[in-house]
Amino acid sequence: MSIVEKFASMDYGPAPEDSKDARAWLDQHGRRFGHFIAGKQHKPAAEEYFDTNDPATGEKLASVAQGSPVDVHAAVNAAGAALPKWQKLGPHARARYLYALARLVQKHARRLAVLETLDNGKPIRESRDIDIPLVARHFYHHAGWAQLLEQEFPGFAPCGVVGQIIPWNFPLLMLAWKIAPALAAGNTVVLKPAEFTPLTALAFAELCSEAGLPAGVVNIVTGDGSTGEALVKHPGVHKIAFTGSTEVGRAIRKATAESRKKLSLELGGKSPFIVFEDADLDSAVEGLVDGIWLNQGQVCCAGSRLLMQESIAEPLLAKLRARMATLRIGSPLDKAVDIGAIVAPVQLDRIQRLVAQGVAEGAACWQPPTPLPAKGLFYPPTLLTGVHPTSIVAQQEIFGPVLAAMTFRTPAEAVELANNSVYGLAASVWSESVNVALHVAAQLKAGVVWVNSTNLFDAACGFGGYRESGYGREGGREGMLEYLEPVWFQKAPARPKAKLPKAAASGIEKTGAPAIDRTVKLYIGGKQARPDSGYSMEVRDARGIRLGEAPLGNRKDIRNAVEAARKAGSWGKATAHNRAQVLYYIAENFSARAAEIAARLAAITGKKQAEAEVRLGIERIFSYAAWADKFDGAVHNPPFRNISIAMNEPIGTVGIVCPAEAPLLGFLSLVMPAIACGNTVVAVPSEAYPLIAGDLYQVFDTSDFPGGVVNIVIGHAGELIKTLAEHADVDALWCFGDDALCATAKSLSASNLKQVFTNQGRAIDLFHVEQGEGRWYLQHATQVKNIWVPYGE
Amino acid sequence: MPAKENSGTGTLAKQDAHAPETIATLEGQPLGPNRGMPLNLDWVRAVRVNTSAVERRAQTLITRRTVKKDWQAAWLLRAISCMDLTTLSGDDTEERVRRLCAKARRPLRQDLVERLGIAEMNLTVAAVCVYHTFVETAVRALEGSGIHVAAVSAGFPAGLSPLAERVAEIRRSVEAGAHEIDIVITRAHVFNGNWQALYDEIAAFKQACGVAHMKAILGTGDLLTLRNVGRASVVAMMAGADFIKTSTGKEPTNATLPVGLVMTRAIRHYAQETGMAVGFKPAGGIRTAKQSLDWLALIKEELGPSWLRAEMFRFGASGMLGDIERQLEHHATGRYSADFRHPLA
């Protein structure tokens, strides 16, 4: 075709990115890769390899080692061996290494981008302009955290050896999100890249060598799910960080339940993209392009549920269809292509199956007439309209270029529809009214909310989800905390086994008329309640002498308590000042009754401890009254013109199984931070002295405390914790007990992936202020929501 | 390619019983020339522009699209064919204008034309843009070339002389033979939200233009907010502008891609609502070949290929041609060029 003809057609023509250098790099390695362990290429023990392919062409790119448990063991050992020296190096030296890695990523940016596109199928524009620059940015930012570690995180220590498992959708970027904070905090790492996309991780391993990173600080083990499983289960790993599917996240939660491994999960999503009638509709359409057609929609936070205000639904859809028709689908290496290849046949099958099911359920499917390449794994951008919340395409994560559109009438309905999901990763809100946008953003159950924007990421801003989208944050200060633990916590000894006093002969002295029988009840929804079972349990003092009965709560009482707690959700919306007032008032009323409460408690704990518990208990309430309006969030500094607000939000309903050993102080040390932050609580008091509940609720009842904010169900912790852990409407579970109790909490929590906070079977000295109160508790009582608000006129 | 005669555009005067001619298509729909419409204030007030989102689209649009090799050469030639070669300086003289007209006729060195194999195209720029004083000079110099003469008018660049004088100025330029009139709007009407006054003014200019093609310069660098740009665009189209144009070239900032995005989206919306097509002219600050490709990609993406013609799209530029010539020489020879190797405009 001549230039004259091209002048007439004004087509774009091909614009291929040269993949020569990336292929030469593969050739240099003979197109075969071992693991990277202790700074060296490491042949797989079983001599097994698997292929990694270019999804756009089907071409085999290389053979990659299949990691066996033996290989994982070698890698964990290498990381463990490297740990002492790495920690001794100190913050500044570690900062230098991270800085060098940032620089090296930039120096090899194009080769890494091309390699990523070859292995993953994403358009070169994205790997070149989004993935790789963000990788470099992540290492720069965390070079900074490495440098500032001691000033900014005093009293914290790294977890140790960290096992990290990452997905195939942003292979090198997810590696950076995992490795940079881990190293900055002083951990060493064993990382398993996704089976479909291992190449850039192996290229990164070479950069580690080039940077002179000490051997064993970063280890890469390639393989499939079984390799990941071996890593998760390895006893030498102190923390697991996982990004991937919710199902695998659940399995990891269960698999690590009996260990003391710290865990962070970044899982799936079905993120809403909400467009109000006063939005800039053309810009919202571009937002959708960035939201659901970035990386072929294979993005955990993809805006896959379009919620449109009814009045603008038709014009918006018309604009959207027109825009979809201009999306260019083709070779991911073409610089002017918008939609590349789907990563693997299994993923393409899943997309096709879910769309077919959505259509069978009544959705109308629209795809632009753009032809697909003859070979390779491609799927067109797809719009499903007439979708209802009941449809599978409105509920399940498709992980493909498929948008499900629905309408709403009012902001309240938008929020309701948006939150009608088991997920809670991200959300996008489009409105020209700052009132509407922020009002809605505040109500969304999502870890990230983008106002008039979408899919913005930065190392300075935490990323992570609510609900079954996982827990923990990546990026920013909140992300660093995932790789750190309080030093005192690491040093705490194992908790001694709790002993309930054995029955002894009654020693109650009879003098004249008997004391009036005292009946302690459950406390649900601000009212005293008899237990559903109609049974009571005996309570004995330290000598084993019977003190009286306590009600025996069961699963139905827990159900009722959770319902009451959920109804009291407005507590979280009350002002922090208001919560502080209530807490102070509780302290005031508590103080008035201090002597009698201490006297009763003394029968169990002895006079000295009882008095200490009461005295410190009042102080603790004061502390959290003080904290209520001071545990505030942050404004982050990403390199955009916008305000990124990191808000500490309450988690919701928190189940709390109190430690047996300090009946009063234990209860207050856990319940007070939870409610100070706006959560509502279902508490199971100390099994050793549950009668404390009777004193507590009488104080609550006189303190203007809204009913249902704290509910108390007395009973056997080992039983009640199961109901709490499995309850889908409990958002977090706190458990301070022995290893077995903690393990039960963690394992059963997997059903809805609620956040679990335990003492990890350690003995925590609640009488010690450093261990018994403060930010560590508040951090567990909140989740961070990052709201991005670009501005400009 | 520019229209070879001065009749290819619709005007108010041309309305008759015939079916309106099709001057462009959008998403498969044929569009007629802009006949204007009554001022619709609801529409004007409903214009929403989110600045950050528009900037983001503008930034990424040019990284999403690129043209290489022969396609790039073809696109650069297209840029030349859509160019209003402009001189608007206080030191302009007749001879300076004649020199510009000569360049307009032969924008590329003949040896390059031959190497590129485009002799059959008879490539020229679309128009030469001058002050009223030089309209006759330019008309004479361009006789027989098919190249239009555009006059800036209506109190260019500030637009603050009395309305009657501005209207008279337009008439004089049309009488002198200008095919196209680039008018400036009263920016104060935008700041004051006085849309009726803005509409009336532009409609008066349009009437004065008669058969000449009217480009309405919004002075986007003065308007400052993108929402103002969006609203002024809509009013100008309702008042009958054949083209909307970004800048005079004299404002502190001239044509930027975000402004271009807002104006092209306004044109698209207007076309969808009315079935009438309005052209677009970014002007000022466009100096490089790369920028010309970015703008062409923006037009292709937002309005479609139908707008990639001189009838619907113009560059207002003086310096850009030199860079395009260098790039085309590089394309033809494989060697980087120098500006002194190309004849001056």
Q: How many CB pairs under 8 A join A and B?
A: 103
Q: Which of A470, A474, A447 is nearest to A786 (CA)?
A: A447
Q: Is the pLDDT of residue A253 over 60?
A: yes
Interface test mutation site (partner A, options B1, B27, B48, B295, max chain A beta carbons within 10 A) = B48
CA–CA separation, A404 and A383 (whole Å): 6
* Yes or no, beta carbons of A2 and B117 under 8 Å apart: yes
At B7 the pLDDT is: 39
> A156-158 and A484-486 as β-strands: parallel, antiparallel, unpaired?
antiparallel
Check CB contact of A453 with chain B, cutoff 8 Å: yes
Confidence band for A472, pLDDT divided at 50, 70 and 90? very high
Reply yes or no on whether the pLDDT at B9 is more than 50. no
Minimum Cα–Cα distance from B81: chain A residue? A7
Residues 43-72 of A with CB under 8 A from B: none
Q: Measured between beta carbons, which residues in chain B are less than 8 angstroms from residue A284?
A: 53
HSE-up of residue A511 (Cα within 13 Å, Cβ side): 2
pLDDT in tens, B78-95: 999 999 999 999 999 999
Which band of pLDDT confidence, cut at 50, 70 and 90, is reported for residue B72?
Answer: very high
Count the neighbouring beta carbons within 10 Å of the beta carbon of residue A380.
Answer: 17
| Per-residue confidence (pLDDT) for residue B4, from 0 to 100 | 39
Q: Can you tell me the distance from the alpha carbon of A536 to that of A545, in angstroms, rounded to the nearest whole number? A: 16
Q: Do A417 and A389 form a contact (C-beta atoms < 8 A)?
A: yes
Q: Which of B48, B52, B74 sits opposite A3 (nearest CB)?
A: B74
- B252-288 tens-digit pLDDT: 899 999 999 999 999 999 999 999 999 999 999 999 9
Amino acid at A355: V
Sorting pLDDT into bands at 50, 70 and 90, what band is A513? confident
Q: For residue A607, how many other CB atoms are within 10 A of its CB?
A: 12
B118 chain-A contacts, CB cut-off 8 A: 3-4, 7
Which chain A residue has the Cα nearest residue B117?
A: A3
Mutate to test the interface with B, among A2, A7, A642 (most CBs of B within 10 A): A7
Using the beta-carbon criterion (under 8 Å), do A3 and B56 form an inter-chain contact?
A: no
For residue A50, what are the CA distances in angstroms to A46, A67, A228, B45?
A: 12, 10, 15, 61
Q: What is the pLDDT of residues A96-105, one digit of tens each?
A: 999 999 999 9
Q: Exposed e or buried b for every residue in B124-146, given b needs 16+ CB within 10 A?
A: bbbbbbbbbebbbbbbebbeebb
Q: Please indicate whether, in this complex, the C-beta atoms of B301 and A326 are within 8 angstroms of each other.
A: yes
Question: Which residue from B326, B328, B345 is spatially nearest to B337, judged by alpha carbons?
Answer: B326
Is residue B182 flagged as an active site residue? Answer: yes
Residues of B in Cβ contact (< 8 Å) with A276: none
Chain B CB contacts of A7 below 8 Å: 74, 77-78, 118, 121
| Cβ separation B70–A4 shorter than 8 A | no
- Inter-chain touch A641–B52, beta carbons under 8 Å: yes
Q: How far is B170 from chain A (nearest CA, A)?
A: 34
B27 touches chain A (CB under 8 A): yes
Nearest-CA residue of chain B relative to A319? B269
A12–chain B Cβ distance below 8 A for any pair: yes
Among A287, A325, A793, the residue with its CB nearest the CB of B51 is A793
Q: Do B52 and A791 touch (CB under 8 A)?
A: yes
Indicate if the alpha-carbon torsion angle A287, A289, A292, A296 is positive or negative: negative
Q: Which residues of B touch A129 (CB under 8 A)?
A: 60, 63
- Local confidence band at A507 (pLDDT 50, 70, 90 cut-offs): low
Residues 337-366 of A with CB under 8 A from B: 338
| CB spacing of A283 vs B301 below 8 angstroms | no
The residue whose two tokens read 């969030």 is A633
CA atoms within 13 A of residue B328's CA, in its CB half-sphere: 30
Report residue B112 as tokens.
């390059």
Chain position carrying tokens 């001694």: A496
Residue A699 token pair: 């104080």
Q: Which residues of A touch B324 (CB under 8 A)?
A: none
Going by pLDDT thresholds of 50, 70 and 90, the confidence category of residue B212 is very high
Kindly determine whether residue B27 and residue A325, on different chains, have CB atoms separated by under 8 Å. Answer: yes
- Nearest-CB residue to A283 (from B54, B65, B74): B54
- What is the per-residue pLDDT for A248? 97
Alpha-carbon span A121 to A114, nearest angstrom: 10
Q: Say yes or no: B231 contacts chain A, CB-CB below 8 A.
A: no
CB contact under 8 A, B65 and A792: no
Q: What is the pLDDT of residue A21?
A: 98
Tell me if A129 and B63 make a contact (CB, 8 A cut-off): yes
List residues of A with catalytic annotation.
266, 300
Q: How far is A717 from chain B (nearest CA, A)?
A: 53
Taking Cα atoms as reference points, which of B170, B173, B267, B269 lies closest to residue B218?
Answer: B267
Q: With an 8 Å Cβ cutoff, are A287 and B68 in contact?
A: no
B291 and B254 in contact (C-beta within 8 Å)? no
Q: Which residue has 């706006």 as its token pair?
A: A678
Instruction: Provide, as residue numbers in chain A, all residues whose Cβ is less than 8 Å from the Cβ of B121.
Output: 4, 7
- Choose the mutation target among A11, A122, A282, A789 for the interface with B, i.e. most B CBs under 10 Å: A282
Q: With contact defined as beta carbons under 8 Å apart, do B24 and B307 qualify?
A: yes
Q: What is the mean pLDDT of chain A?
A: 96
Q: Is B62 on the interface with A (CB under 8 A)?
A: no
Instruction: Say what the pLDDT of residue A758 is.
Output: 97
Q: What is the pLDDT of residue A497?
A: 76
Q: Is A679 helix (H, G, I), strand (E, B) or coil?
A: coil
- Over the stretch A123-164, which tens digit does the pLDDT of each residue have? 999 999 999 999 999 999 999 999 999 999 999 999 999 999
Please name the amino acid found at residue A719.
Answer: E
Q: Which residues of A touch B228 (CB under 8 A)?
A: none
Distance, CA of A537 to CA of A69 (rounded, Å) = 48
Which residues on chain B are in Cβ contact (under 8 Å) with A10?
Answer: 74-75, 78, 296, 300, 305, 308
Q: Is the pLDDT of residue A176 over 60?
A: yes
Q: Cis link prior to B157 (omega < 30° from 0)? A: yes
The pLDDT assigned to B81 comes to: 98
CB contact under 8 A, B71 and A12: yes
Please report, for residues A132, A276, B27, B309, the alpha-carbon distance to residue B306 in angstroms, rounded to integers and kept in the order given: 36, 32, 10, 7
- Give the pLDDT confidence score for residue A508 in this predicted structure: 54
> Mean pLDDT throughout A23-35?
98
pLDDT of residue A388: 95
Q: Could you say which DSSP state residue A364 is in?
A: E
Q: What is the mean pLDDT of residues B132-155?
A: 97
Chain A's closest residue to B47, CA to CA, is A280
Q: Would you place residue A338 in the very low, low, confident or very high pLDDT band (cuts 50, 70, 90)? A: very high
Q: Give the ipTM.
A: 0.94
Beta pairing, strands B213-217 & B243-245: parallel
